[in-house]
Amino acid sequence: MAAFGSFCLLIALALAAYNLLAGTLALRLLATGQPVRISPERLADTARRAGIASFIAVSGAAFALVWSVLTNDFSITYILEHSNRALPIPYKFAALWSGQEGSLLFWAWLLGGYGFILRLRHKTDVKLFAYAGTILAGIQVFFLLVLNFAAPPFSLLKGVIPEDGNGLNPLLQYPEMVIHPPLLYLGYVGFSVPFAFALAALMMRYPGEKWIRVTRIWTMVTWVFLTCGIFLGMHWAYAVLGWGGYWGWDPVENASLMPWLTGTAFLHSVMMQERKGMMKSWNVWLIFSTFLLTMLGTMLTRGGLVSSVHAFAQSSIGYWFLVFMVIVLVVCIFTYILQRSHLKSEHELESLVSRESSFMFNSLVLLTVCFVILWGTLFPILSEYVQGSKVTVGAPFYNNVAVPIGLFLVFLTGVGPLLPWRATSLKAIKRNFVLPVIALWSTVIICLLAGAKPWVDGAFSTGHFYALVGFAIGAAVLTAIMSEFLRGAAVIRRQTGRNLFAAIVLLTRRNTRRYGGYMVHIGVVIVVVGLCGAAFNRSVERELGLKSSMSVGPYTLQCTGFTQDSNDNYDSDYAMLNVYKDGKYAFQIAPEKRVYHSSGQPQTMVSIHSTPEWDLYVVYEGSNPDTGQPIIKAFLNPLVGWIWIGLLVMVLGSIVALVPSLSPATAALRVPATQAVSAEPALKGGA
Would you place residue 39 in the very low, low, confident or very high pLDDT band (cuts 50, 70, 90)?
confident
pLDDT reported for residue 350: 59
Residues 29 and 169 reside in one and the same domain: yes
The domain boundary residue, chosen from 113, 148, 173 = 173
Q: What are the backbone dihedrals phi and psi of residue 450, each rounded to the nearest 5 degrees, phi first? A: -80, -5
Residues 135 and 228 reside in one and the same domain: no
Residues 130 and 194 reside in one and the same domain: no
The four Cα atoms 374, 380, 383, 385 give a dihedral, to 10 degrees, of: -100
Percentage above 70 pLDDT, the chain? 90
Instruction: Please determine, for residue 524, whether its predicted confidence score (pLDDT) is greater than 80.
Output: yes
pLDDT reported for residue 282: 87
> Which of the two residues, 437 and 122, has the higher pLDDT score?
437
Interval 296-305 mean pLDDT? 75
> Which of the two residues, 457 and 497, has the higher pLDDT score?
497
262 part of a folded domain: yes
Instruction: Please determine, for residue 648, whether its predicted confidence score (pLDDT) is greater than 90.
Output: yes
Interval 395-417 mean pLDDT? 85
354 part of a folded domain: no
Do 498 and 538 form a contact (C-beta atoms < 8 A)? Answer: no
pLDDT reported for residue 686: 40
Residues 96 and 40 reside in one and the same domain: yes
179 part of a folded domain: no
For 213-226, write each residue's pLDDT tens digit.
878 888 899 999 99
- Number of domain units in the chain: 4
pLDDT reported for residue 674: 40
pLDDT reported for residue 86: 86
pLDDT reported for residue 191: 94
For 91-104, write each residue's pLDDT tens digit.
888 888 888 899 99
Mean pLDDT of the chain: 86
Percentage above 90 pLDDT, the chain? 47
pLDDT reported for residue 433: 79
Instruction: Please determine, for residue 321, whether its predicted confidence score (pLDDT) is greater than 80.
Output: yes
Taking residue 573's Cβ as centre, other Cβ atoms within 10 Å add up to 19
Instruction: Please determine, for residue 677, whether its predicted confidence score (pLDDT) is greater than 60.
Output: no
Would you place residue 377 in the very low, low, confident or very high pLDDT band (cuts 50, 70, 90)?
confident
Q: Comparing C-alpha atoms, which of 256, 267, 261, 258 is closest to residue 232? A: 256
pLDDT reported for residue 682: 41
Instruction: Please determine, for residue 616, whether its predicted confidence score (pLDDT) is greater than 90.
Output: yes
Residues 91 and 239 reside in one and the same domain: no
Burial group, residue 600, by CB count within 10 angstroms (0-12, 13-18, 19+): exposed
Burial group, residue 408, by CB count within 10 angstroms (0-12, 13-18, 19+): middle
pLDDT reported for residue 671: 52
Instruction: Please determine, for residue 50, whether its predicted confidence score (pLDDT) is greater than 90.
Output: yes
The domain boundary residue, chosen from 143, 173, 203 = 173
353 part of a folded domain: no
State which amino acid sits at residue 377.
Answer: T
Would you place residue 397 in the very low, low, confident or very high pLDDT band (cuts 50, 70, 90)?
confident
Q: CA–CA separation, 629 vs 645, rounded Å? A: 37
> Which of the two residues, 467 and 315, has the higher pLDDT score?
467
pLDDT reported for residue 655: 94
Q: Where are the beta strands (DSSP E) in 613-655?
A: 614-623, 630-638
151 part of a folded domain: yes
For 132-182, write each residue's pLDDT tens digit.
999 999 999 999 999 999 999 999 988 888 888 888 888 888 888 888 889
Interval 328-347 mean pLDDT? 87
Weakest-pLDDT range from 59-68, 265-274, 399-408, 433-442: 265-274
For 587-610, write each residue's pLDDT tens digit.
999 998 888 887 778 888 899 999
Weakest-pLDDT range from 380-389, 407-416, 539-548: 380-389
Do 133 and 19 form a contact (C-beta atoms < 8 A)? Answer: yes
pLDDT reported for residue 315: 64
Task: Report angle CA 543, 544, 548 to the nearest 5 degrees.
Answer: 140
Residues 207 and 339 reside in one and the same domain: yes
Interval 371-385 mean pLDDT? 84
pTM confidence score: 0.90
Residues 131 and 211 reside in one and the same domain: no
Interval 353-357 mean pLDDT? 69
Residues 364 and 502 reside in one and the same domain: no
Residues 427 and 526 reside in one and the same domain: yes
Residues 521 and 586 reside in one and the same domain: no
Q: How remote is the C-alpha of 603 from its chain's centroid?
A: 26
Of 22-36, 163-177, 194-208, which one has max mean pLDDT? Answer: 194-208
Interval 326-355 mean pLDDT? 82
Sign of CA dihedral 157, 159, 161, 162: negative
Instruction: Please determine, for residue 244, whether its predicted confidence score (pLDDT) is greater than 80.
Output: yes
The string of DSSP codes covering 185-242 is HHHHHHTHHHHHHHHHHHHTT--TTHHHHHHHHHHHHHHHHHHHHHHHHHHHHHHHS-
Do 288 and 249 form a contact (C-beta atoms < 8 A)? Answer: no
Residues 552 and 529 reside in one and the same domain: no
pLDDT reported for residue 319: 86
Instruction: Please determine, for residue 541, whether its predicted confidence score (pLDDT) is greater than 70.
Output: yes
Interval 335-364 mean pLDDT? 77
Residues 411 and 526 reside in one and the same domain: yes
Domain range for 82 is 1-173
Q: CA–CA separation, 417 vs 317, rounded Å? A: 46
pLDDT reported for residue 188: 92
* Contacts of residue 333, Cβ cutoff 8 Å, sequence gap at least 6: none
For 438-476, write each residue's pLDDT tens digit.
999 999 999 888 877 787 766 778 888 999 999 999 999
The domain boundary residue, chosen from 153, 173, 193 = 173
584 part of a folded domain: yes
State which amino acid sits at residue 218.
Answer: W
Interval 263-269 mean pLDDT? 89
